[in-house]
Chain A
Amino acid sequence: MLKFIARRLLTLIPVLLGLSILVFAFVHALPGSPADSLLGERGTDEDQAKIEESLGLDRPLPIQYFFYMRNLLSGDLGTSVSTRRPVTEELGRYFPATVELGVAAMIFAIVLGVPLGFVAAKRYLGLLDNTSLFISLIGISFPVFFLGLLLKYVFAVKLGWLPTIGRVDVTRTFDHPTNFYVIDALVAGNPADLLDVLKHLLLPAIVLGTIPLAIVARITRAATLDVLSEDYVRTARAKGLDPRVVDRRHVLKNALLPVVTVIGLQTGLLLTGAVLTETIFAWPGVGSWYLNAIRFRDYAVLQGATLFFAFVVLMVNLAVDVSYGFLNPRIRYR
């Protein structure tokens, strides 16, 4: 097992190296340069040359790449052109917010999606099945932007139950040592802080989790249907096993294998694709930070953040692969 993980980690090195070349090439192939963005409406050619020189953009690309990799290996992802702060520092600031939101959305999707899909499969073609299909269809096809504004309108503007923006009420002042506010609020030990953080987390997590919820429900339903027709399920039932035990030990556990794969893929997507939700809820995560970097041709942020996201997605995939072994002992790691 450990050998397997070590081998997988080793194969990450060429993958990340290749990725770094691709990202570097793509980012530098974008039209325009950071100098244009910095100068905006008022720049002259002379100013532009000055800035490009100061950023080292006048050097040949392979040399720029060499310097970039040298810094990268020493843990330096570079400095943002627009904020002049190290990219690692900015990642530390924005990434926890996105992870917190992504995890909450995934919990929402799994906690609702798996039972919904399972129950639907058990009542195949019944009312519940059709209802859950309908719900998941809506979940997939409802535009995130519209759903966000709608939920905010109902639960915040009209009913006044939940807040519409940010991660915590501005008047609350507890420390943020980890930048994961749920953890920080727990550490601070004031239940009111925790409640406020959870209230802020609820709507964005629902909005972000709707599409994964629909997907998880559909995959669970399909996988459960497959497993329900397997011989071992019939055998288990025939030998008089408690139906609940059959469902839990034989059906659900086997049906979860494809679901876990999807959850892994979706988690990767959530961490990098929360831009819209973050914008609607003024959630200070990586989404708007990354988008701004594209707009400003902020090479250091684009490269650093893209590589970091790729790394995270690869790690999530590794975790999914490892989890197969727990779910299905027939899978052996070599």
Chain B
Amino acid sequence: MLLGKRSAWRRSALVTVFLLLAAACGDSSVGDGGDDGGGGSNKASSTLTFGTSADPVVLDGALVSDGESLRAIDQIMEGLVTLRPGTTEVIPGLAKSWEISDDGLEYTFQLEEGVKFHDGTDFNAEAVCFNFDRWYNFKASFQNPDASYYWQTVFGGFSDGKTASLFKSCEATDESTVKLTLTNPSASLLPALSLTSFTIASPAALEKYKADGGKVGSDGLFRPTGTYGTEHPTGTGPYKFVEWIEGDKLTFERNDDYWDEFAGNVGKLIFRPIEDPAARLQALQTQELQGFDLVDPQDYQTIDGDEALQLLNRPAFNVGYIGINQAVEPLDDVAVRQAIAHAINREEIVKAFYAGQGVVAKEFMPPEVFGYAEDVKEYPYDPDKAKQLLTDAGYELPVKVDFAYPTGVERPYMPNPEANFQAMVKDLEECCFEVEKKAAPWDPDYLGAADNGQYGLYLLGWTGDFGDPDNFIGTFFQTPQKAWGFDNKAIFDILNQAEQETDQQRRVQLYQEANRMIMEFLPGIPYVHTKPGLAFTANVSGYEPSPVSLEPFSLVTVEGGQ
């Protein structure tokens, strides 16, 4: 009996070894970097594997706001307008032209003709309005701000009328003409329409795969029953969805019937979620990846020094700032705020902790965004002046302030919050302040406390969603917020006026004026804009880093891929 068992073991062990040997001999192509073609296309047959930081949430643009979902959806879906690669300039997308009525309420879009969705159905005006009507009629859980974030940011409310909506109607006046009517003029509508959340999906696929199907469970949570967003996302874009194995890979293949130019040669595109930046870098070095996003600043030098790799940078489209809560004394005194600004050596901090990828910020939006003013009031490093300001205002030195920073987080504008914090505290204490230090885990503790006005000074930042100043200073200062703790009607008014102004030249002036007023009032201290890094193998070309991360892989060429 025992012998029998043993010989069976030996036999199966022998078979396994034989199989492996056979495999080793007969499969010399395994593991050679994944550029083995096989896209099934005549024109583009290279494979590109790209390392992402996480899986997408779901591949339905209307229901997501996280970067990884947006990146994936951008490859398969397109909107009425898009952005010139590498910029925030609005250019035609599925709409080849548009007209805006004088009152700024009606947008008439002329659509590209002869475009088809990946499922073979026609793209036309009705399909566009089907999508707008779908978003406008979201109900129940779909109205959760985490689901339809961008709709609520840009258009406000829904058809149930609980909150006012910017959207009034969408009308297909003929096969290729769409009339979009608003309830109020909004100058930021066009750039906002370039957002991934407003890309046009195939109505047939949305219905067939029940994009809106689901039920509210006994726990009150909405459970989707459809497979649209996980197995059948269908758009008009340069790539078609193939499969998504969570935690492992997301695969696309070239859309051979793509209506627009397909400049690159990547026939098969694979996104692999790799959480650890060091693991992403090693996988790039072994050519298991051909590119990855969110390069750790400490790895810039390694990548730059490796001939087989290359580093690309996105234009600065973010701001890191010290938030000031004026509800906490003595921060309501502008002299104290100015003294803080003068006491901190921002240039030194940007030089020390941003690996050469940061520029010192002098206002709350990056220079790439229109409405940026060159002539705002500046607060250069000058501890003597800081002391002077405080003593002139009648304070006894050192002045007590509390200052908080987040732990367990990296952000493009803040790769190492603690290092920033320590350097700032050192500057403040050396000058004229006594700092009570506070720290909390980023999410949800820190953000919650900062938003609720529980800190005096706090480190925070913002990355823009689209190229409009409303998305920066409008977000911060257009309404009273607990985080800032001030009520400045002049600033609120000018930002409201700027948001509604439809004359672009006038808008630019209004935002420039708003930036001057803000930096005079100094509600916080912006200190850095950064250029986040992407890494590729040296044989990849054509990738255009975009300030808002709208980066089509259809422009990319992998040399050496057949």
Interface of A with B (CB < 8 Å)?
31-33, 36-43, 47, 50-51, 53-56, 67, 70-71, 78-79, 81-84, 86, 93-94, 97, 149, 152-153, 156-157, 160, 163-167, 169-171, 176, 190-192, 194-196, 198-199, 279-282, 284, 288-289, 295, 297, 300
Contacts of A39 in B (CB 8 A): 145-146, 444
A-contacting residues, B1-45, CB 8 Å: 19-20, 22-24, 26-27, 30-31, 34, 36, 38
Q: For chain B, which range describes its interface: under 10, 10 to 19, 20 to 34, or 35 or more residues?
A: 35 or more
Closest chain A residue, CB of each to CB of B463: A41
Contacts of A199 in B (CB 8 A): 30-31
A-B contact pairs, 14 of them (CB 8 A): A38-B144, A54-B144, A81-B221, A149-B278, A149-B282, A152-B282, A166-B249, A167-B248, A169-B31, A192-B27, A194-B20, A196-B27, A198-B20, A288-B275
A-contacting residues, B32-68, CB 8 Å: 34, 36, 38, 47, 49, 57-58
Q: Which listed residue, A43, A160, A284, A297, touches B451 by the CB 8 Å rule?
A: A43
Q: Indicate if the CB atoms of A31 and B445 lie closer than 8 Å.
A: yes
| Cβ proximity bits B341-376 to A, threshold 8 Å, 1 near / 0 not | 000000000000000000000000000000000000
Contacts of A192 in B (CB 8 A): 23, 26-27, 30
Top 10 nearest A-B pairs by Cβ distance?
A284-B247, A36-B444, A191-B23, A192-B27, A32-B444, A195-B23, A282-B274, A56-B220, A38-B146, A191-B19
* CB of B521 closer than 8 Å to a CB of A: no
B17 to chain A, nearest CB (A): 11
Known A54-B221, A279-B279: A94·B247 in contact at CB below 8 Å: yes
- Most B Cβ at <10 Å: residue of A51, A79, A165, A300: A165
Which one of B165-173, B180-188, B283-291, B548-556 is at the interface? B283-291
* CB of B320 closer than 8 Å to a CB of A: no
Q: Indicate if the CB atoms of B221 and A79 lie closer than 8 Å.
A: yes
Closest chain B residue, CB of each to CB of A78: B219
Contacts of B289 in A (CB 8 A): 165
| Cβ proximity bits B257-276 to A, threshold 8 Å, 1 near / 0 not | 00000000000001011111
* CB of B139 closer than 8 Å to a CB of A: no
* CB of B149 closer than 8 Å to a CB of A: yes
Contacts of A149 in B (CB 8 A): 278, 282
B96 to chain A, nearest CB (A): 34
Q: Indicate if the CB atoms of A195 and B24 lie closer than 8 Å.
A: yes
* CB of B246 closer than 8 Å to a CB of A: yes
Contacts of B274 in A (CB 8 A): 165, 282
Tell me the bound Cα distance from A199 to B274 in angstroms: 18
* CB of B305 closer than 8 Å to a CB of A: no
Contacts of B384 in A (CB 8 A): none
Contacts of A67 in B (CB 8 A): 218-219
Closest chain A residue, CB of each to CB of B57: A83
Contacts of B275 in A (CB 8 A): 279, 282, 288
Tell me the bound Cα distance from A201 to B230 in angstroms: 28
Contacts of B220 in A (CB 8 A): 53-56
Closest chain A residue, CB of each to CB of B243: A173
Contacts of B224 in A (CB 8 A): 84
Contacts of B248 in A (CB 8 A): 166-167, 284
Contacts of A32 in B (CB 8 A): 444-445, 448
Q: Indicate if the CB atoms of B20 and A165 lie closer than 8 Å.
A: no
Q: Which listed residue, B57, B141, B247, touches A82 by the CB 8 Å rule?
A: B57
Q: Indicate if the CB atoms of A79 and B149 lie closer than 8 Å.
A: no
Tell me the bound Cα distance from A295 to B278 in angstroms: 21
Known A43-B145, A54-B144, A79-B219: A282·B276 in contact at CB below 8 Å: yes
Q: Indicate if the CB atoms of B19 and A194 lie closer than 8 Å.
A: yes
Contacts of B286 in A (CB 8 A): 156-157, 160, 163-164
Closest chain B residue, CB of each to CB of A149: B278
Contacts of B219 in A (CB 8 A): 55-56, 67, 71, 78-79, 300
Closest chain B residue, CB of each to CB of A53: B220
Contacts of B272 in A (CB 8 A): 165-166, 170, 282
* CB of B395 closer than 8 Å to a CB of A: no
* CB of B447 closer than 8 Å to a CB of A: yes
B546 to chain A, nearest CB (A): 21
* CB of B329 closer than 8 Å to a CB of A: no
Tell me the bound Cα distance from A165 to B248 in angstroms: 10
A-contacting residues, B129-146, CB 8 Å: 141, 144-146
Tell me the bound Cα distance from A51 to B36 in angstroms: 47
Q: Indicate if the CB atoms of B49 and A170 lie closer than 8 Å.
A: yes
B198 to chain A, nearest CB (A): 18
Tell me the bound Cα distance from A157 to B149 in angstroms: 42
Q: Indicate if the CB atoms of A36 and B23 lie closer than 8 Å.
A: no
Tell me the bound Cα distance from A40 to B286 in angstroms: 36
A-contacting residues, B422-449, CB 8 Å: 443-445, 447-448
| Cβ proximity bits B197-236 to A, threshold 8 Å, 1 near / 0 not | 0000000000000000000111111111000000000000
Q: Which listed residue, A82, A165, A279, A288, touches B283 by the CB 8 Å rule?
A: A165
Tell me the bound Cα distance from A108 to B26 in angstroms: 27
A68 to chain B, nearest CB (A): 8
Tell me the bound Cα distance from A282 to B462 in angstroms: 28
Q: Indicate if the CB atoms of B443 and A37 lie closer than 8 Å.
A: yes
Tell me the bound Cα distance from A198 to B30 in angstroms: 12
Contacts of A156 in B (CB 8 A): 282, 286
Tell me the bound Cα distance from A146 to B219 in angstroms: 43
Contacts of B24 in A (CB 8 A): 195
Q: Indicate if the CB atoms of B447 and A284 lie closer than 8 Å.
A: no
Contacts of A160 in B (CB 8 A): 286
B270 to chain A, nearest CB (A): 5
Q: Indicate if the CB atoms of B276 and A280 lie closer than 8 Å.
A: yes
Tell me the bound Cα distance from A42 to B49 in angstroms: 32
- Most A Cβ at <10 Å: residue of B26, B31, B141: B31
Tell me the bound Cα distance from A36 to B246 in angstroms: 25
Extra pairs beyond A43-B145, A54-B220, A196-B31 (15, CB < 8 Å): A37-B443, A40-B443, A50-B144, A51-B144, A56-B219, A78-B219, A84-B221, A84-B224, A93-B246, A149-B282, A195-B27, A199-B30, A279-B279, A280-B276, A282-B275
Tell me the bound Cα distance from A288 to B53 in angstroms: 12
Contacts of A86 in B (CB 8 A): 223
Q: Indicate if the CB atoms of B270 and A170 lie closer than 8 Å.
A: yes
Tell me the bound Cα distance from A217 to B279 in angstroms: 30
Closest chain B residue, CB of each to CB of A81: B221
Closest chain B residue, CB of each to CB of A155: B286
Contacts of A194 in B (CB 8 A): 19-20, 23
Q: Indicate if the CB atoms of A171 and B444 lie closer than 8 Å.
A: no
| Cβ proximity bits B123-164 to A, threshold 8 Å, 1 near / 0 not | 000000000000000000100111001000000000000000
